[in-house]
Amino acid sequence: MMPLALADMGEERIVKQVNGSPEVKKHLENLGFVSGSCVSIVNTFAGNIIVSIKDTRVAVSREMAQKIMV
């Protein structure tokens, strides 16, 4: 298990768990980052990571990506 921020671009991963405060967990859950979801990094831009999750592209900060374990 490793943080999403360290995953290779284009490689599909499964979300194992989400860490952080209850507010952070809820925010990431609302974006689709729930255990068992398939996620892949599309690109990185200006310190943000653009990911594809549930047929949607979402930008998260590198700090948030550190809290998503894949």
The ranges assigned to domains in the chain are 4-69
The CATH number fitting domain 4-69, selected from 2.40.170.20, 3.40.190.10, 2.30.30.90, 3.10.105.10: 2.30.30.90
pLDDT of residue 46: 86
Task: State how far the alpha carbon of 39 is from the alpha carbons of 17, 61, 69, in Å.
Answer: 12, 15, 11
What is the C-alpha end-to-end distance of the chain, expressed in Å?
Answer: 6
pLDDT of residue 34: 93
Whether 23 and 29 have beta carbons less than 8 Å apart is answered as no
User: Would the pLDDT of 67 be above 90?
Assistant: yes
Average pLDDT over residues 49-61: 94
Kindly report the pTM of this predicted structure.
0.90
Model pLDDT for residues 8-54, shown as the tens digit of each residue: 999 999 999 999 999 999 999 999 999 999 999 999 988 899 999 98
Helix, coil or strand: residue 47:
coil
pLDDT of residue 45: 87
